[in-house]
Amino acid sequence: DFKGARPAYDRAYALAPGDADILLMYAFFASKSGRDTDALRVIERAAALDPLNPRVFRAKALTLISARRPQDAIEAARKALAMNAQLSGTHGYLGLALVLTGKAVEAKAEFAAEPNLSARLAGLAITERTLGNAAAADAAFAELVRARGDAANYQQAQVLAQKGDVD
């Protein structure tokens, strides 16, 4: 319920415009609700406020992916990983940006390094299919369903959509 959630996010932003963690959550929300310009402006402010916070650069990577700027997202994700190589989600965001820029082999390595099981398996299923390895893609997807079930419905939808199964 993006419309219903927006007042709470706007209030948090108004109360803590100098808190990078609040700003990165606001940027996530703005990005997910289709407000890429707002999201990018806010995540840049968060990065300026807390340039040593890897979570800010992880959020910046996702914001840039959503804004259809995957090449810039690669740089942000790599910056986050330079600060914390095991930051959950970051290898996955880097992998996604690499897939979007046609670098599926590099993406596969990033997804394999992702600590979050759902993101790792979904990413591997996507990259294997991109690389033409249907059996490996299906195996990764089956493992995602087996290991995570309903807890990974979003990731399952990502894999199925990429496969062309939009229903």
SS (H, E, C) 70-129: HHHHHHHHHHHHHHCCCCCCHHHHHHHHHHHCCCHHHHHHHHHHCCCHHHHHHHHHHHHH
What would the pLDDT profile of 72-126 be if each residue is shown by its tens digit?
Answer: 999 999 999 999 999 999 999 999 999 999 999 999 999 999 999 999 999 999 9
What is the token pair recorded at 30? 């703005």
Please say whether the dihedral angle defined by the alpha carbons of residues 106, 148, 157 and 69, taken in this order, is positive or negative: negative
What is the token pair recorded at 10? 């706007």
Give the pTM. 0.92
SS (H, E, C) 149-164: HHHHHHHHHHHHHHHC
What would the pLDDT profile of 136-166 be if each residue is shown by its tens digit?
Answer: 999 999 999 999 999 999 999 999 999 999 8
